[in-house]
Amino acid sequence: MKLNMDSRFDHQKREPEIYKAWEKSGFFNPDNLVKKGVVKKTAKKFSMVLPPPNVTGILHIGHAIVLTIEDIMVRFARMQGKKTLWLPGADHAAIATQSKVEKILYKEDGKSRHDLGRDKFLKRVEAFASESHRTITEQTKRMGASLDWSREAFTLDDERNLAVRTIFKKMYDDGLIVRGHRVVNWDPKGQTTISDDEVIYKEARAKLYTFRYAKDFPIAISTTRPETKLGDTAVAVNPKDARYAKYVGKTYKVKFVGEDLEIKIIADREVDSKFGTGALGVTPAHSTIDYEMSLRHGLPMKQVIDEYARMMVGPDGIKGEKTINARDKVVEWLKKEKLLTGEEDVEQNISTAERTGGIVEPLPKLQWFIDVEKPFKLPKSNIKGIKNGQTVTLKELMRMVFKNGQIKIIPKRFEKEYFRWIDNLRPWCISRQIWYGHQIPVWYPSTSSGQAPSTDAQNKPYVGVEAPKGAGWEQDPDTLDTWFSSALWTFSTLGWPFDYAQGKPKKGTDLEAYHPTDVLETAYEILFFWVARMVLMTTYALGEIPFHTVYLHGLVRDEQGRKISKSLGNGVDPLEMIDKYGADAVRMSLIIGAAPGSDSKTSENKIRGYRNFTTKVWNASRFVLMNYNDKLKTKPTYTAEDKRNLKKLAEVEAKVTKHIEEYKYHQAGELLYHFFWHEFADKIIEKSKDRLREESGADKAAVQEVLTTILRSSLKMLHPFMPYVTEEVWNKLPGNKKDDLLIVERW
């Protein structure tokens, strides 16, 4: 057979061309698989959503591993003849995107978002987001990801916005979304609230001060934040603490740093009598724990720190100062008044905001929350153990689907973490004081326009899917936590709420055909942020699970095992690597050595190693094809060795299939690598050379058959891992037509 093949696979030229050929075939879209007769109409489906990448920047190695693992899943399912849907999209990533654009705006124009105003600023963010989105889409294609682009969605487009408004209204009516004045995590840097999960604790050294509010105050307390003590309204001691029992219930008036304080002595079980003096100054407005304690004891709340982390009270030098400066001033005062009795270095965790790095300041604020413990009626339920119309809480739903095994997590150990998270779950604060995102679908009677709202709603907010009719209404300026809209992702992308009625999907819709999805594959970091929230929203909205299996992968770290970050500049740029070594090599390097749930490392060396494997696949194929004589009509006579080799192949096929079915992609990849290179190329091909030199005959026919059989099967098995080079070789195989595509070949 004459061949027009160089000794290298030209990945730079061919990979984009092959991707175009796949797109042209339409096979990324399951409808076409049926239409073109590649899969049966009655075939099983396989559906999965791509974790939508943020529209904040370029594709990084974290995206690359997601795309690799998921594309392997998808290509495998498709080759098994399933109606396979892998649905792409992008995430508006509210805070992340807004703060990025604010930075650019400041750098380029020296302006803040307030200089532009809401509308102009949002236009600017949208321009940035759409540009960023275009880039990341192109980059996603370079990875070879076989996504159905015809179904692409965006967390902030019209369909998703309708889904968000619809579910907000529904939850509000069910009493699950409530507005309340509570102590929340305030990020002074980002000027917004954040959820408990967005708080990152960092270890830091701090000083623990022990002192009395005043000379005649009977109990000394300890704190690392003396400045907050201007907001104290109580001192708490343990009920069993005999030292302080006689003071409990009494109220003392003291003058503390020029402030009049009224301190009540209370007994609360949360207080550890062994810590410090065994007495705790209670600051209801500026500590979550203290806030909860104040609710138990009906204590008043006094806010002394504002949204800019500045003191709202105190004498000159304190009032208006940053908390950190005020702290020193308070300590000075304590020293001067001889009230300070102890000063000790301690290790302490400080709360920081995930996105901005700002130090979180607990503040009382009026915000929107999802109450996860409020009972409500679930009208329709496909959840095992929960009947139609049963009264449940969101927490119970979230727990149930894992407890009854309806959803499985791989690796299993993460189920424990999930349950622990649920146990600690408090109301989810969903309102954000930023502009980019889904604006909260709540309207209040207008205060500035001068027009009165309709009388029946005089004092009540209007909550609706659409804005209220008539003038005199103002929409809540806040937006929703970005995870609110991502939480709807498995069903908002499939046509909900349009294609859903009477508690079930309408016939013939995507929602009916593809929901629940089969697998949700993502990084373990996102388990609480996203996976748990999807379970919450889907079980609530549909009475259904969002997916059957959760597959979690680890972080990709640099060669030294460090987390990849921009500030370290240690990122391996997947695009540069694709350009240099090909997407197949990048994919193999990411999958091999990456066991489920455990972190892996990446390096250019490793990628280069798998590029060499790409070349090996290419050249071994070239050898087999060059030595194939399609005119040979002789019936092959297999030797014992031929039979052994074919048996070996069958064993590899069985093992690879088993590994993939068990989500052990790293093992399947390694086995294929080893078999192809060190069995097939090094041994089987080498030993075949003498036999191929024969002019003709049954033995030559046999060896040709063995080689092409193994090659054909290897290409199929390697295809999910290395789609490009395998596809390129495929249509050169004897018997294959020019436009035959490996992508839809049967496994």
Partner RNA sequence: GGGUGAUUAGCUCAGUGGUAGAGCGCUGCCUUCACACGGCAGAGGUCAUAGGUUCGAUCCCUAUAUCACCCACCA
Residue with Cβ nearer RNA (213 or 673): 673
User: In the complex, what is the shortest distance from the CB of residue 736 to RNA, in angstroms, rounded to a whole number?
Assistant: 20
Q: Are strands 431-432 and 504-505 parallel, antiparallel or unpaired?
A: unpaired
Q: How many CB atoms lie within 10 A of CB 508?
A: 9
Query: Would you state the structure tokens that stand for residue 490, as one six-digit string?
Result: 């498995």
Residues 370 and 376: their CA atoms lie apart, in Å, by 13
Q: How far apart are the C-alpha atoms of 679 and 209, rounded to whole Å?
A: 70
Specify whether the CB–CB gap between 239 and 360 falls below 8 A: no
What is the nearest approach in angstroms of RNA to the Cβ of residue 518? 23
In the structure, how many helices (H) and strands (E) does the chain have?
Answer: 23, 29
Tokens of 500: 């859903």
Sign of CA dihedral 360, 366, 370, 374: positive
Structure tokens at 174: 């069910």
Contact present, 541 and 167 (Cβ < 8 Å): yes
| CB of residue 271 to RNA, shortest distance in Å | 5
Side-chain half-sphere exposure of 431, counting CA atoms within 13 A: 19
Cβ 674 to RNA, closest distance in Å? 6
Q: Which CB sits closer to RNA, 173 or 682?
A: 682
- Other beta carbons less than 10 A from residue 223's beta carbon: 22
Q: How far is the CB of 263 from RNA (least distance, A)?
A: 14
Nearer CB in complex with RNA: 320/609: 609
CB of residue 12 to RNA, shortest distance in Å:
11
Q: Which is nearer to RNA, 98 or 726 (CB)?
A: 726
State in Å, rounded, how far the first CA of the chain is from the last one. 27
User: What whole-number distance in Å separates Cα of residue 69 and Cα of residue 64?
Assistant: 9
- Maximal CA-CA distance, the chain: 111
| For RNA, the closer CB: 455 or 605 | 605
571-581: b (≥16 Cβ within 10 Å) or e: bbebbebbebb
Report in angstroms the alpha-carbon separations of 55 from 78, 94, 453, 588, 696. Answer: 29, 10, 39, 26, 61
Q: Tell me the closest approach of the beta carbon of residue 341 to RNA, in angstroms.
A: 15
| Burial class (CB within 10 angstroms; exposed 0-12, middle 13-18, buried 19+) of 24 | exposed
- Whether the CB-CB separation of 628 and 1 falls below 8 Å is answered with yes
Min separation Cβ 627 and RNA, Å: 8
Q: Work out how close the CB of 523 gets to RNA at its nearest, in angstroms, rounded to a whole number.
A: 11
Distance of closest approach, residue 218 Cβ to RNA, in angstroms: 17
- Minimum Å gap between C-beta 104 and RNA is 28
The Cα-based distances of 458 to 42, 472, 631, 676 in angstroms read: 56, 10, 90, 75
Q: How far apart are CA 112 and CA 714, in angstroms?
A: 58
Choice between 371 and 544, CB closer to RNA: 371
Give yes or no for a contact between 725 and 9, defined as CB atoms under 8 angstroms apart. Answer: yes
- Min dist CB 619 to RNA, Å, is 3
Of the pair 527, 744, the CB lying nearest RNA is at: 527
Q: Which is nearer to RNA, 360 or 537 (CB)?
A: 360
Instruction: Dump the DSSP string for 694-732.
Output: SSSSHHHHHHHHHHHHHHHHHHHHHTTTSHHHHHHHHTT
Compute how many other C-beta atoms are within 10 angstroms of the C-beta atom of residue 679: 17
What is the number of alpha carbons within 13 Å of residue 623 lying toward its C-beta? Answer: 21
User: Toward RNA, which CB reaches closer, 129 or 422?
Assistant: 422
3-state secondary structure of 179: strand
Closer by beta carbon to RNA, 115 or else 525: 525
Q: How far apart are CA 221 and CA 334, in angstroms?
A: 13
Distance (Å, whole) CA 745 – CA 730: 10
**21 or 208: CB nearest RNA:** 208
From the CB of 165, what's the least distance to RNA, in Å? 30
Judged by CB, which is closer to RNA: 503, or 571? 571
Closer residue to RNA (CB): 50 or 263: 263
